[in-house]
Amino acid sequence: MRIEVLVDVKTILGEGPLWDVEQQRLYWIDSFGCNIFRCTVDGREVRAWDVPAKIGSMALRKDGNGAICSLANGFHLLDFKTGETTLIHDPEPELKTTRINDGKVDRRGRFISGSMDTMEAGPNGSLYRVDPDFKITKLDSGIIVSNGPCFSPDDKTFYFADSWSGEIWAYDYDIQTGSVSNRRTFTKIDTSTGGAADGSTVDAEGCLWNAQVYDGKLKRYTPDGQLERVIDMPVKKVTSVMFGGPNLDILFVTSMAKPPLPRFPGDGVLRGSLFAIYDLGIKGVPEPRFGA
């Protein structure tokens, strides 16, 4: 195994690595810099787009040159050609201290994304599903910081974390309807070291990978929630993970250059870098696009 810096753009809050198998390109975001980035598998041809508010996550659309984005003020569509964004819906207009955060697409083209309390203090966030026809449904509530949504390879389990609960949860997932049920603890996170569950992905073997922010560790859990391995990263503020590359065997890792709140620690010179981990001997699964 080897860890390399793929792109050093010093993202304030790097998040959401997304490998697109159609374009063979990697996307990632700077939540606080209000940017979406794209590059080749070897970190070249870097391209960036601005968005008009803090961005929590994005997914590419099936029907062309755009994306669906979780912005602070609701769900938006982004046209890559023009750079213009269009509001779909703001599900929380009355809540001034929340923003939409992490999200992923299921294999029927639905976008599942949750909101968070911007001070990371109160259970003011919720979990939403955006259908291909843009209908929005609330799936859960009482969440402090929504993070790490992803799906098992058989589509029967939806994983999700409220970062400061100290747990990653598993729900039964109905791929036919996009509904969740039977929330339970998948694994517990030791937050006594200052770390918390951030972004996740599931590999082809059904194991869940989680970036444990502020603790500088990537952890792989078996489908029954047992810790299988730990990778120590060269920075503490790792934020999310995604497999990509032509063979889906490179693990891309985002990080943040500046913590969002004063109570969180700083980091070294590599803070905010996009990393690539090679020679793990493990493959991921293709990420779906949003839409029917």
Instruction: Pick 166 or 41 by higher pLDDT.
Output: 41
Domain-located, residue 284: no
User: Mind listing the pLDDT tens digit for each residue in 123-156?
Assistant: 999 999 999 999 999 999 999 999 999 999 999 9
Report which residue type is found at 64. G
Rounded Cα gap, residues 33 and 13, in angstroms? 7
User: Mind listing the pLDDT tens digit for each residue in 196-205?
Assistant: 999 999 999 9
Mean pLDDT computed over 172-181: 98
Beta carbons of 149 and 93 less than 8 angstroms apart: no
Domain-located, residue 288: no
Domain-located, residue 271: yes
Domain-located, residue 291: no
User: Mind listing the pLDDT tens digit for each residue in 81-113?
Assistant: 999 999 999 999 999 899 999 999 999 999 999
- Could you tell me the sign of the dihedral formed by the alpha carbons of 254, 257, 260, 263, in that order? positive
194 band by pLDDT with thresholds 50, 70 and 90: confident
Rounded Cα gap, residues 220 and 210, in angstroms? 7
User: Mind listing the pLDDT tens digit for each residue in 212-265?
Assistant: 999 999 999 999 999 999 999 999 999 999 999 999 999 999 999 998 777 777
Q: Which residues does the annotation mark as catalytic? A: 198
Domain-located, residue 292: no
Residue 266, pLDDT > 80, answer no
Residues comprising the chain, all counted: 292
DSSP secondary structure of the chain: -EEEEEE----TTEEEEEEETTTTEEEEEETTTTEEEEE-TTS-S-EEEE-SS-EEEEEEBTTSSEEEEEETTEEEEEETTT--EEEEE-S-TT-TTEEEEEEEE-TTS-EEEEEEETTS-SS-EEEEEE-TT--EEEEEEEESBEEEEEE-TTS-EEEEEEGGGTEEEEEEEETTTTEEEEEEEEEE--GGGS-EEEEEEEBTTS-EEEEEETTTEEEEE-TTS-EEEEEE-SSS-EEEEEEESTTS-EEEEEE-SS-SSTTS----TTTT-EEEEE--S--B-PPPPB--
Which residues form the domain of 127?
Answer: 2-278
Beta carbons of 27 and 38 less than 8 angstroms apart: yes
Domain-located, residue 120: yes
Domain-located, residue 285: no
Residue 5: exposure state from Cβ atoms within 10 A (0-12, 13-18, ≥19): middle
Residue 64: per-residue pLDDT:
79
Write the CATH number for 116: 2.120.10.30
Tokens of 121: 């203090």
Domain-located, residue 283: no
Structurally, the chain folds into a number of domains equal to 1
Q: What is the mean pLDDT of the chain?
A: 96
